[in-house]
Structure 1
Amino acid sequence: MPRLLPSLLLILMSIASTVRADAWHLESQAHGVDVYLSDVPGSAYQQFRGVAHIKASVRTLVDLQENLRVACKWLYACESMRLVEVDGDSTWVYITTALPWPAQPRDMVLRVRSERLDDGTLVRHLSADPDKLPSAPGLIRVRQLAGEWTFRPLGDKDTEVIYQLQADPAGAVPGWVANRFVIDAPMVTLKTLRAVAERQP
């Protein structure tokens, strides 16, 4: 029986770590957007989850996301965005960012894999693919990123939108910039997306 104790302790510690990782707490509510944060084991950076209801169809929201010129206007800290490749259900997009001074600008190659669920929900899984393109001079390449967009239809023109992301920005980032980013990124992105989407015919 004593030999089982170390294994049992390891299992309990693993469960506790998972619970902590999934322990989302509401950090901010404004403009009809709820922002939740959660610690990430082994990372100095928190992950965020933004939730909003938008009076627009999933199709309208998808169109606004796939029009990269428009998407860069409502995506927080986006400086530029261009299509790299499309292969089956996956799309690669190159993005440069403009973070508040004194943080240096970043770039990333984002793989977006789309999944359609039976209830009409569209989930877009996000991951970094840093070696897809050569590094660009003057930019810090984001190498670790994982998240998803979820568009869940609630009616003909009513959609629950969830934007969740965890990333390591690489390089030095002032603490106040990192702390503001995890709140501003979902808040500004979803607020601006709603304003654009609800103006569509």
Structure 2
Amino acid sequence: MDKLNRGLHVICFVVMVALASAPLFAASEWQLVHSSDRLTVERRDYKGSDLDEIRGVLRLDASLNAVMALLKDASFNEQWVYRSGGARVLQEMGYPEAYVYGIVDAPFPMVDRDTVVRFDFKQDPVTREITIGIINFPQFAPEADGLVRVPDFGGFWHLRPLTDQGVMVTYQVYGDPGGWIPVWMANRAAVLSVQNTLENMQAAVVNYEGSQSRYVKELDSAE
């Protein structure tokens, strides 16, 4: 009996070591779900859950400052972000950090959602590449009547300037929409959100650059 117990202890110890040394969530491979001349959209499992993480990569014909100006203007968000019900800045901590409230215009019969996130802006001084982290802060603002607060949302924008004055844009996000939504519907909505937002972005940055040309030129001259 002692030998049997010792053997069981050794087996349990080996299993525990193996579990401790293994990653909690192995990142799955990206799977292509949409491809066009300038845009690709991919999905993968998010942290072992049934929800997907989505990544879109788009080549834009625009200056880096024009793209940044578009992304930082919350009031213009509703003009191009897919199913946006509007957005506003709650608090800014100088240029590199802003808390933003947004509404998601969910399709019937779903209830509209709202989000509260912090955007963190960082730029590499050598490559000029910009990363905008998206961090969830659902408790930063009171919940609104008639809306479902998104409990988990995050990701990033990455802007890489190209030698021909274009910008390679990467938009990667994950999220739990909250409330009761079938998983397949939530994952489909996530793909459509990234795909349509990025498809709208080229026209949006052109329109924004034209309507806000003075602001964009001021950014250009500040470099």
Which of 171, 191, 201 pairs up with 2:199? 191
* 1:94 is aligned to 2:101: yes
Structure 2 residue aligned with 1:79: 85
Corresponding residue for 2:23?
14
Tell me the equivalent position of 2:113.
106
Q: Which has the higher helix share?
A: 2
Query: What's the offset of the Cα at 1:48?
Result: 0.1
Larger mean CA deviation between 122-131 and 64-73 belongs to 64-73
Instruction: Name the amino acid aligned to 2:181.
Output: V
Give deviations 1:74-98, integer Å, cap 9, x for gaps.
Answer: 1111101111001142101110110
Alignment match of 2:35 (pick from 12, 29, 36): 29
Secondary structure, counterpart of 1:38 in structure 2: strand
- Number of positions where the alignment pairs a residue of Structure 1 with one of Structure 2: 197
> When you count strand as a share of all residues, which structure comes out higher?
1
TM-superposition CA deviations, 1:116-144 (whole Å, max 9, x none): 12311110000111111111000000121
1:19-168 maps to which residues of 2 (within 5 A)? 19-20=27-28, 23-30=29-36, 32-88=38-94, 89-117=96-124, 118-155=126-163, 157-168=165-176
Letter in 2 for 1:9: A
What is the CA-CA distance between 1:180 and the residue it aligns to?
2.1
Higher RCO by CA contacts (8 Å cutoff, separation 6 or greater): 1
Q: How far off is 1:100 after superposition?
A: 1.3
Identity of counterpart residues, as a percentage? 26
For 1:134 and 1:166, locate their aligned partners in 2 and report how far apart those are by CA, in whole Å: 23
Given the alignment of the two structures, is residue 173 of structure 1 paired with residue 181 of structure 2, yes or no? yes
Q: Do the aligned residues in 2 keep the contact of 1:100 with 1:177 (CA within 8 Å)?
A: no
Unaligned 5+ runs, structure 1: none
Deviation at 1:152, TM superposition (A): 0.6
1:52: how far off?
0.6
Q: TM-score, normalised by structure 1?
A: 0.89
Shift of 1:31: 5.8
Structure 1 residue 185, shift from structure 2 partner: 1.0
1:195 is matched by which residue type in structure 2?
A: A
TM-score by length of 2: 0.81
Query: What SS does structure 1 have at the residue aligned with 2:23?
Result: helix
Q: Can you list the C-alpha shifts for 1:55-78, whole angstroms capped at 9, x where unaligned?
A: 111100011112222222111111
Letter in 1 for 2:38: G
Question: How far apart, in 2, do the equivalents of 1:11 and 1:78 lie?
Answer: 42
CA deviation after TM superposition for structure 1 residue 176, in Å: 4.7
The Cα shift of 1:103 comes to: 1.4
Aligned residues of 2:27 and 2:46 also touching (Cα < 8 A): no
Greater shift in the superposed pair: 159-168 or 181-190 = 181-190
Flag the structure with larger Rg. 2
